[in-house]
């Protein structure tokens, strides 16, 4: 979420335009995903992210490692981990999401979505952030964290970056196959929001991005 590790004007004079291009391409990628069936969209997502991570000036992969980058690692697509569910709206008060390094991200939980994981209902809070133009943000943790995935959790939605899987004004698409790591996984100089306790699931969610060779 934070831009701490992005090239600044001192390091790269075109940083502002390259950042705009990066976010535009992420938004375009998710628009293409929403236009096709989920399995085809997942293949698009993987190819698109690998291309951006390998070649773009705003890639979270450090510049000196991009020439050896061979792609992100993912679990196989699991259709049982895609949900289209109604949102239960509520005003749950202010939240302050801790970061992997310095800083916090403030916002408000505006509602929640209930899904069924292994026959057990699980509730995920949805956040509207004060920063990044009122971005909608859905981080989560699960039993793979610290072993197969990053210990601080993964993200499902981050509309500031164009990561939006679809829905309307009453329901939302939650597809764990599109879960992705925060940028601090690829470069520890980033400071990224961590999954809050209320969004840490007891089950192991083996879908989306996982730790592996990059």
55-104 pLDDT, tens per residue?
999 999 999 999 999 999 999 999 999 999 999 998 767 889 989 988 89
Angle between the 15-34 and 38-55 helix axes, to the nearest 10 degrees? 170
Neighbour count for residue 182 (Cβ, 10 Å): 24
Tell whether 3 is covered by a domain: no
171-208 pLDDT, tens per residue?
999 999 999 999 999 999 989 999 999 999 999 999 99
Split at pLDDT 50, 70, 90, the class of 214 is low
Instruction: Express the helix, strand and coil content of the chain in percent, nearest 5 each.
Output: 30, 30, 40
205 sits in the region (left: phi over 0; alpha: psi -120 to 50; else beta) called: beta
Tell whether 76 is covered by a domain: yes
pTM equals: 0.92
pLDDT exceeds cutoff 70 at 9: no
Tell whether 59 is covered by a domain: yes
The CA-CA-CA angle for residues 142, 128, 81, to 5°, reads 35
Tell whether 195 is covered by a domain: yes
Tell whether 4 is covered by a domain: no
Direct distance between the N- and C-terminal alpha carbons of the chain, in angstroms, rounded to an integer: 21
Distance separating alpha carbons of residues 43 and 24, to the nearest angstrom: 19
The CA-CA-CA angle for residues 5, 7, 12, to 5°, reads 165
Distance separating alpha carbons of residues 173 and 149, to the nearest angstrom: 22
Position 94 scores a pLDDT of: 86
What range defines the domain where residue 176 resides?
Answer: 15-210
Tell whether 10 is covered by a domain: no
Helices (H), the chain: 15-34, 38-55
Average pLDDT taken over every residue of the chain: 91
Tell whether 5 is covered by a domain: no
Backbone angles phi, psi at 107, to 5 degrees: -175, -160
Please state the domain count of the chain: 1
């Amino acid at each position: 979420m934070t831009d701490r590790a992005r090239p600044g004007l001192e390091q790269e004079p075109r940083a502002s335009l390259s950042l705009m291009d990066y976010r535009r391409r992420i938004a375009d990628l998710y628009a293409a995903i929403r236009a096709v069936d989920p399995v085809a969209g997942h293949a698009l997502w993987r190819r698109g992210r690998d291309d951006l991570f390998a070649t773009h000036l705003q890639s979270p992969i450090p510049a000196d490692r991009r020439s050896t980058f061979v792609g992100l690692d993912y679990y196989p697509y699991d259709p049982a981990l895609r949900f289209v569910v109604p949102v239960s709206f509520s005003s749950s008060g202010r939240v302050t999401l801790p970061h992997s390094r310095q800083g916090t991200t403030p916002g408000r939980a505006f509602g929640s979505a209930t899904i069924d994981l292994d026959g057990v209902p699980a509730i995920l809070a949805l956040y509207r952030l004060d920063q990044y133009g009122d971005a909608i943000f859905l981080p989560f943790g699960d039993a793979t964290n610290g072993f197969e995935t990053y210990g601080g959790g993964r993200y499902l939605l981050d509309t500031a970056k164009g990561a939006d899987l679809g829905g309307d004004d009453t329901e939302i698409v939650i597809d764990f196959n599109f879960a992705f790591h925060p940028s601090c996984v690829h470069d520890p100089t980033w400071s990224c929001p961590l999954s809050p306790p209320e969004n840490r699931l007891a089950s192991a969610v083996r879908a989306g991005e996982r730790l592996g060779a990059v």
